[in-house]
Structure formats: C-alpha cells, structure tokens
C-alpha cells in the first residue's frame, strides 16, 4: 500500500462530519494527514511568565502531543524574534505562522480589536466567553481580522484584574488630578480625561519607576503576576477592583495561508485546544491570585483598599464616552460597539441575579 | 513501507514530549496510532438537551473530527441504553467505555463524589475550575474513582443555578416548614433539616407536579433550561440565588481499560477536549440564561425575587453541618472535605476583592 493511499483512507473518515467552521475557512484537502507542520509562535510575554507565558507553552505542548507530533510549534518570548508589539504585524505578513497576544495591543492600528480583550466596565470572564462563542462575538472578530490575513481564536483569560499599586491615596475624584500612572489602552485614556497622566512603560521598567517615584501608581494584572514582578515591594496601597480590565481575553492569531494549509483534523484540534487554554489559564490565575493575595495580606506594609464609589462612578461615565467617541470616528468600532453594549446590558441583568447574587449570599 | 513501520515513525515524535499525566495512567505503546476506536457514551440527559445534552454531543463530534475519525463516540441519552442513574455503574463495569454525568448522582454509593459537582454555598464556576486543575482537586478525584475502575475528567459546568420556582412565598425561615420541594442531593438534605420535605422526581414529572400542586416548589437549573421545561408556566415566584449549586461541574468518566487502550495522542486529545467543553458549555448557559431571563422578565405573571437574607444565612449554617456530619461517618468524605473548605476560604477572600468587587462596581 502506498503512503498517500493509506493516509487518504484514514482521513476520509473525518470528512464525514463535514466542515463545521465556514467562518474560519475550512480545508477540504483530506490527503495531508501525515504531513508535519513546524511553526513558530511569537508572543508579547516573557518566556514562561506565570499565566500569560505558561498558557502559550501549554498550547504548543498540547498541540504537539495530541497531533502525535504532526503540529510542532516553537514559542518565542516577546523580543526574542521580534519586538513584543509587532506580533500582529509579523503574523499578518506571514513571517511567522502564529502569535499569542492581547488584541488591545493593536490599538491605533485596529481600534475595534480592543473589544475582544476588555473594555473598561465591560464584560467579565464568563460573559466574554458567552459573547465570543455563543453571542456573535467570534464572527465579528473574524470579519475584522480577515483584512489583515489573520484568523483569531480566543485563547486564555486572566480574569478581572486589580486596580493597581499606588503611593498616593485616592479618596476622591480630585485625587486623580495629576496622578502619574502606568496604565495602557482605554483605561489610560479614561484616566487622562479624569485629569491624570497615563504613562506607557515596558514591563521591565515598572518596578523601578514606581519605587523611585517617577510614577505614582501602576496597574499590572493581579496578585499572581504582581507579586512575581515585586510590585508589592514598591507601593503602599493595593486598590481594587480593576475597573479597566474586567476579564481580558487573550488571542491566538494564525496567518490565513498557514491556517489554510492545515488539514481539517488539525484545524479542529487548534480550535479545541485554544478553548481548553481559556479554562486552563483562568484556573491558573484564580489559584495563583488567591495564593499571592494571602502573601500580600500578611504584609504589614501594604494596605488593600477599595476605590471610593464616586471615583468609580466617575470613571465609568468617562469610559462610555471614550468608546462612543471612538465609534463616532471609526466605523469598525461602531459596528462592534453597538452589539457589544447591547450584549453587556443583557448580561448585567442576568449576572446580577446569578453569579453576583450568589457571591453576595456567600458573604452574609 | 509497511503500515506499522510508517505509523510507528509518526507517533514516535509524540513520545518526545513524554507522558505528562501519570495520575491518569499513561499509555506508552506508540504503535497504535491508526487504530480506530468506536465507543459508546451513556448520559443522564435527554438527547441533545440544551446545555447538558449538547455538551456531550459536542464532545463526541469534536473528538471525531480532531482525531480524523480514529475516535468515534456514539452518544446515548438517559434511558436509551440504560437508566439515567446507572451511568456510573455501567462505565465502571466496562459495559460501555464512557459516560457524561454529574458526580453528585453517585451519592449513596460514593458520597465524596459530590465535591466535584457542587456543594451548597461552596465553590463557584471559576473557583471549581481552579481547584480541579491547579488546586489539587483532580488528584483527589482520580484517587477516589480509581477503586471503581474509572478515570474522571471535568467536562462542562452550568454556572450558578437559580433558587427555583415557587408557588408559596418565602418571607421567613418559618415558610420553609412543610414546604414540598423537588430538590435532590445535599440541597434536599439541607431543606429537610430546615423543616421542608425534599422530593425526588424524574425530570419529566416536574412540570405536572408543580402545576397540580403536588409539590410547592422545584429547583431545576436556570432560565435557559427552566424555560425549555416550561416551568415558568407552572409557578408564580422565581427565586434567586441558587445557594444549592453554585457552579456545578459535569464529569466525563472513562472505563480504565478503555482509557489504557488509547494511544498517547488520543489520551491527550480527550483531556484537552473535555477542558474545552467546560468553557463551551458555560458560555452556552451564560448566553442562553440571559436570553431566557428576558423572556421571563417580560411575563407579568412571574415575580423574580431574592430569598430573604436570614433564610439564606440559616440554610448556609445547616449546609456546613450536613457536610461535617457526612465527613464524620465517611473517611472518603473527610479526606476531601478538609482541603475543599480550606480552598473555599482562600477563594472567598480572593473573589471578594476581584470578581465580586467588580460586579458591585458595575452596578453603581
């Protein structure tokens, strides 16, 4: 029996279930099942960084094991092959096949991408998953990225982030005036309009900037990553909640030609594995955050405190204005903004009497 | 080239990454990669029932597509092959290879299994995932099920359930006295100790029993499933929150010999796919619940209302007593109860300043 004949026979069985993912494009070539794919994956994270970096390592090792070595992916940390913020470009151009990234890093180039990571005061972890997988979000995302020759997959989530580390007390809206804070993206723009000075810094400079007083505050992720960065040694107040990123989703992006070159079974495997990473990464964060929070709570030099309600209310009002202004200038933002906020309203009503009501009860 | 030689070469590549799941047992036979497996999967759900039933259909179709037809699973609804509550037994005995079920249905046979579905006032969706995948839960689960010749996988979650449908108002603890309510498991035992009469009914009889007044109340799942069952047409009050099941996980159970017969790549695929179903099913429920809640809210004959705080506080106290009593009689329960409640305490502290604080903020 010739190799091609035999292999074709095996793969024909998969064809029976049909191609269920037309929106992602679908390979109907069933003769490629023993072909081996050696891909590179560029990321924006330090190699094997807790949570973000581990998730993409897990993605690669799962794909290799479950494909019996037919899909091997070498993962590169941010800056190892290309600068961290060029992930979108190099995958779009086909220089590498795959990237693991946060879609709001593409702000400026494609502002509408931010909806698929997080919007201040927007969808949380469970709600974002619902929107992407059952609420029409994935279709909007794939349509948006098609112009860049990219196929996106939701692949991980940190859960809600923390408000950040502060060396100034925030007791009123007035305390935001002049506040120098490392906070990127839409959250930064909200702070700017509230009178603060948002600053963008590479991860490696955050600790020193906070310690020397070059900045007054910084947000990063949550206890798990913040302690890994040593931020608890550079600030006095740890504020909550993280209004700026309520459940940021991560993305796996694949160059369209690379995607089309995969046989149907490996395409399916990639989709499944990305979705498994969402559960896995959120579980790693939830577990790690709880452990690191204990450490922070035991430190007498740190005070964990909530933002005042009127500050949060003020930031929430501004956040909506920021997105509406973007939508008025950018039709791609407008197209996604409308269904996003309609979905958010529906989700808020449901979450209030389900997850939120339960958590309130447990606290009684 | 002979078939065996060729295939062996392909699979050898997978062996490089090693067997990472010693707790689940691990097949090191790398010569089986073209073998086709035709399995049956028995479940406790009506065929293709929204959420529960769709999740296991998705599990089967994903496994078939991603394995290029090498792992085909025929799914049977509850009662189609064997009675719904015999899933655990028939998979344990190897009569069928796989089951999709809720572990708290094994109450009586193996009381300790209930921790892996839900405990009243216990871990919610995100926290259960963290415990199972990163907090030691999976190891306890696999150890518990080993005596039954079963390998368990977390495979789906409905999210927090609702308190249920009532034709009597619950304004005080006294109103629980004599209440005839369909509520199974630990929740039912809690109600019994609070003076009520818990009743177990097959799903098909719930609607009529509620409508005729044979029972005063019933819990089922949440808006998505409840509306599918027509419960909104048989009761006046829809109570929240669902204290009895804060984020029930579903299980995929595989007979040990069937599991051992799979090659390494298919074992990995099963683990990944089960974890993907957890995200997918919770997303389906979150989306579906929000849609069905709108329908319920628009119905002038239904009043959606919260249980009084003192009722919830009372039920919470009893719930802990019920589990402690079980633990005092059953060493398997005791072994899991201790780490479970330690984990819950750690999670509550973290959830309070993260997810819960965020939801409180969004409501401001």
Contact check, Cβ <8 Å, A354/B240? yes
pLDDT digits (tens, 9 = 90+) for A169-188: 999 999 999 999 999 889 99
Task: For CA atoms A234, A237, A240, A242, give the dihedral sign.
Answer: negative
Tokens 């100034």 sit at which residue?
A: A168
Q: How many CB atoms lie within 10 A of CB A94?
A: 13
pLDDT for residue B24: 45
Q: Give CA–CA dist A114/A244, Å, rounded.
A: 12
pLDDT for residue B33: 66
Digits of tens for pLDDT over chain B (364 positions)? 333 322 222 222 333 233 344 344 444 444 336 899 999 999 999 899 999 999 999 999 999 999 999 999 999 999 999 987 899 999 999 999 999 999 998 888 999 999 999 999 999 999 999 999 999 999 999 999 999 999 999 999 999 999 999 999 999 999 999 999 999 889 999 999 999 999 988 778 899 999 999 999 999 999 999 999 999 999 999 999 999 999 999 999 999 999 999 999 999 999 999 999 999 999 999 999 999 999 999 999 999 999 999 999 999 999 999 999 999 999 999 999 999 999 999 999 999 999 999 999 998 8
Domains of chain A: 3-9+23-158+247-286 (3.40.190.170), 161-244+302-328 (3.40.190.10)
Q: Give CA–CA dist B174/B357, Å, rounded.
A: 33
**Least Cα separation, residue B194 to chain A (angstroms):** 18
Q: Give CA–CA dist A104/A116, Å, rounded.
A: 8
pLDDT for residue B281: 98
Q: Give CA–CA dist A144/A130, Å, rounded.
A: 19
Instruction: Tell me the ipTM for this assembly.
Output: 0.91
pLDDT for residue B17: 32
Q: Alpha-carbon dihedral of residues B241, B242, B247, B248, nearest 10 degrees? A: -170
Helices (H) and strands (E) in chain B, counts: 13, 11
Q: Give CA–CA dist A134/B22, Å, rounded.
A: 35
pLDDT for residue A33: 67
- List of chain A residues whose C-beta atoms are within 8 Å of the C-beta of residue B68: 10-11, 13-14, 33, 263-265
Chain A CA closest to residue B287: A130
Residue B55's H or E segment, with its range, is helix B52-66
Interface test with B, best of A156, A165, A286, A313 (most B CBs within 10 A): A286
Asked if residue A224 lies in contact with residue A50, where contact means CB atoms within 8 angstroms, the answer is yes
pLDDT for residue B7: 27
**Least Cα separation, residue B220 to chain A (angstroms):** 14
Model confidence at A200, pLDDT cuts 50, 70, 90, reads: confident
A25 pLDDT higher than 90: no
Q: Using alpha carbons, list the distances in angstroms from residue B173 to A132, B240, B245.
A: 42, 15, 20
Interface test with A, best of B126, B165, B291 (most A CBs within 10 A): B126
Interface test with B, best of A2, A5, A16, A68 (most B CBs within 10 A): A68
> pTM (2 decimals)?
0.92
**Least Cα separation, residue A65 to chain B (angstroms):** 5
Contact check, Cβ <8 Å, B133/A284? yes
pLDDT for residue B329: 97
Q: How many CB atoms lie within 10 A of CB B133?
A: 21
Chain A 270-309, CB below 8 Å of chain B: which residues? 272-273, 275-276, 278-280, 282-284, 286-291, 293-294, 297, 304, 306-307, 309
Query: Within an 8 Å CB–CB cutoff, is residue A28 touching chain B?
Result: no
Q: Taking CB atoms and an 8 Å cut-off, how many pairs form between chains A and B?
A: 298
pLDDT for residue A202: 74
A295 pLDDT higher than 50: yes
Smallest Cα–Cα separation from A340: which of A31, A115, A45?
A115
pLDDT digits (tens, 9 = 90+) for A327-349: 999 999 999 999 999 999 999 99
């Amino acid at each position: 029996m010739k190799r091609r004949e035999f292999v074709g026979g095996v793969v024909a069985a998969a064809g029976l279930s049909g191609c269920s993912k037309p929106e992602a494009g679908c390979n109907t070539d069933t003769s490629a099942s023993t072909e081996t794919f050696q891909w590179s994956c560029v990321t924006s994270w330090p190699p094997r960084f807790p949570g973000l970096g581990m998730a993409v390592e897990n993605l690669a090792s799962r794909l290799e094991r479950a494909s019996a070595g037919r899909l091997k992916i070498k993962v590169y940390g941010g800056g190892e092959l290309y600068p961290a913020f060029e992930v979108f470009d190099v995958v779009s151009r086909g220089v590498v096949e795959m990237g693991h990234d946060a879609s709001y890093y593409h702000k400026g180039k494609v502002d509408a991408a931010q909806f698929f990571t997080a919007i201040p005061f927007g969808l949380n972890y469970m709600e974002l998953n619902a929107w992407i997988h059952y609420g029409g979000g994935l279709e909007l995302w794939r349509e948006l990225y098609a112009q860049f020759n990219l196929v996106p997959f939701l692949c991980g989530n940190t859960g809600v982030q923390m408000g950040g580390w502060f060396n100034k007390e925030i007791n009123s809206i007035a305390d935001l005036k002049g506040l120098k804070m490392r906070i990127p993206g839409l959250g930064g723009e909200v702070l700017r309009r509230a009178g603060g000075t948002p600053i963008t810094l590479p991860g490696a400079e955050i600790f020193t900037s906070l310690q020397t007083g070059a900045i007054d505050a910084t947000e990063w992720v949550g206890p798990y990553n913040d302690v890994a960065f040593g931020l608890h040694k550079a600030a006095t107040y740890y504020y909550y909640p993280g209004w700026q990123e309520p459940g940021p989703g991560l993305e796996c992006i694949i160059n369209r030609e690379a995607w089309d070159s995969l046989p149907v079974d490996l395409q399916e495997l990639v989709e499944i594995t990305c979705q498994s990473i969402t559960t896995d990464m959120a579980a790693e964060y939830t577990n790690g955050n709880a452990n690191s929070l204990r450490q922070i709570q035991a430190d007498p030099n740190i005070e964990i405190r909530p933002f005042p309600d009127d500050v949060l209310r003020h930031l929430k009002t501004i956040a909506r204005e920021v997105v509406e202004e973007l939508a008025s200038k950018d039709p791609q933002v407008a197209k996604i903004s409308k269904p996003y906020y309609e979905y958010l309203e529906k989700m808020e009503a449901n979450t209030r009497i389900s997850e939120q009501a339960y958590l309130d009860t447990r606290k009684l």
